Amino acid sequence: MNADRETNGDMTHRDIALLLAEAADEVEIGIAPTQAVLRGGRRRRARRWAVAAATALVIAGTSGAVAVAGLPGGTDKASVATKPSPEQRDLTAPYVTTLASGTDKGKPWFVTVDVWPVPRNKAEAETVWDALTASEGTPPDAKVPTDLIGTVTYFVKRTYGVETTKVMENRIPATESMSGTDLQTAAIPLVPDTDGPQRLVIGQVARTAVGVDCQWKDGTNTEVFRARNGELVSTDRQVIRRAQGSPVDWFVCLAPEGTSYKDVLVFTTLLPEDAP
């Protein structure tokens, strides 16, 4: 770790987030208890998932990628089509997918993810770089446009009422894959500019995951399953969703009022009572 970065009092929130992420890069979270293994377990891989805003955050395992489709309260399909064909790729705008939506204390909320097209060469990388610079900002670990070649850049955003906040960002290989019970989750407050409770859980799972069990500190839980193939699903229904441009799938859980995040388990097979 660079000593100047440790002593610099003018470090930005992004700098702090990256330092935290670097410290977690080599962490390997242990095997789940027997009870969890019976339902798919919770093997997690450590990867970088940078915090893109000053907010209370709980991270458990990390990896990354995403895309967008639909408006809050709208519908989504297991397979999303929101961009032109590969022959007509627009490199100047991300794929945007609404992962979840709802209402809390009379205020609408929703979570979206912006996934940028993958540059295949230097010219495409420069186009994406310029578009990122003009909108989201370039990824903190990319120093020059060519760093973007072959990688997916994504930004997760939380909207509460009329306030939209970028809460996570990452850049990962376009060939990134998750398997079995691989899991990446982050828990943040639903309400912006607060220190908690961490009610909003945003996560990534493998294409083969059939469900997740979000467990809360009050002893309750919320189970989220994958939508049936081709099924139209409103964004106010919590399901595992596929996002265009993302090599992994996404889910969002919201804890009941008065409690917060404790853990998430992944299901790779369904017990009879779990069938959606």
CA distance 116 to 192: 25
pLDDT in tens, 151-191: 999 999 999 999 999 998 898 899 988 989 999 989 999 99
In the predicted structure, residue 271 carries a pLDDT above the cut 60: no
**Kind of pairing, strands 239-240 and 221-226?**
parallel
Name the β-bridge partners of 225: 211, 239
Tens digit of each residue's pLDDT (9 = 90 or more) over 89-109: 799 999 999 999 999 999 999
Q: Which residue has the higher pLDDT, 45 or 262?
A: 262
